[in-house]
Amino acid sequence: MDAKVLEGINSSLELKDMNATLNDLKSFLEEKFTPVVPTPKPAEDADMGESAVAGITDFKIMAAPIGQAIVGGFSSVFVSELVDGFLVSQGVMVTGLVKIGAAVATLRWGKRILGKTGAMAAALLLTYDGARDILPIDQWATRGADAITGVVTTRGLGGNTMSAITQANKVADNYYPSISRRSG
C-alpha cells in the first residue's frame, strides 16, 4: 500500500474518533451541567385545601374513598331531592335531564364548596340518578340479579319497593309450590 493511502486512512479514522469524542464530551457536559428544575405535579385526587370539606374528602379506609362517597353522596342526594321536590309535577324525563344538568353545574362550580374530588363524586352520582330517571336501569339490574340468584332483594341501589313479607312469600312459593298460598 502507498504511504499516502495509509496516511489518508489514519487521518480519516482520527477525525471520526475525534468527532465521536467531541460529541461524547458535549453530551456529558450537557447532562452534568445543564440546570434541570423539576416542576412539581399536584396530586390528582388532592383538594389542596381549596374547599371547606377538603379534610373530609381525603378520608380513606384501605384506599376506599369514604370521604368522597360521603360528601359526593350527600350532595347528590340533596340536589336530587330538591329537583324531585321542585319538579314534582313534571315527568321523569324532565327531572332526569335537570339532574344531569345539575351534574354539569356541579363539575363547573361545585369545586369551590365540595373540592375537586367531592364535586366529581357528586356529579357522578347525579348523572347516574338522572340516567335512572330516563332509563329503567333499576328494573334491568333487578331482573338481572333475579335471573342469577332467584331472589329479588328488598334493599340496595335498585330501589326495590317489595316488602320483606312479599319477598318471603315469593321465596316460599318458589321453593314449596305444592303448598303455595295461591293454589289453595
The domain limits of the chain are: 8-36, 54-135, 139-179
Query: Residues 94, 155, 158, CA angle at the centre, nearest 5°?
Result: 35
Task: Give the per-residue pLDDT at 38.
Answer: 61
Identity of the residue numbered 69: A
| CB contact at 8 A, 94 and 42 | no
Which residue numbers in the chain have pLDDT < 70? 1-23, 25-26, 28-52, 152-172, 174-184
Residues 6 or more apart from 122 whose CB is under 8 A from it? Answer: 71, 72, 73, 75, 76, 79, 103, 106, 110, 114
Three cell numbers written together for 133? 330517571
Say how many C-beta atoms besides its own lie within 10 A of residue 69's C-beta: 16
Task: Give the per-residue pLDDT at 1.
Answer: 54
Task: Give the per-residue pLDDT at 48.
Answer: 47
Task: Give the per-residue pLDDT at 102.
Answer: 94
List helix spans (H) across 34-110.
Answer: 54-57, 66-86, 92-109
* 3-class secondary structure, 134: helix
Task: Give the per-residue pLDDT at 104.
Answer: 94
| CB contact at 8 A, 71 and 57 | yes
Task: Give the per-residue pLDDT at 47.
Answer: 46
Task: Give the per-residue pLDDT at 111.
Answer: 85
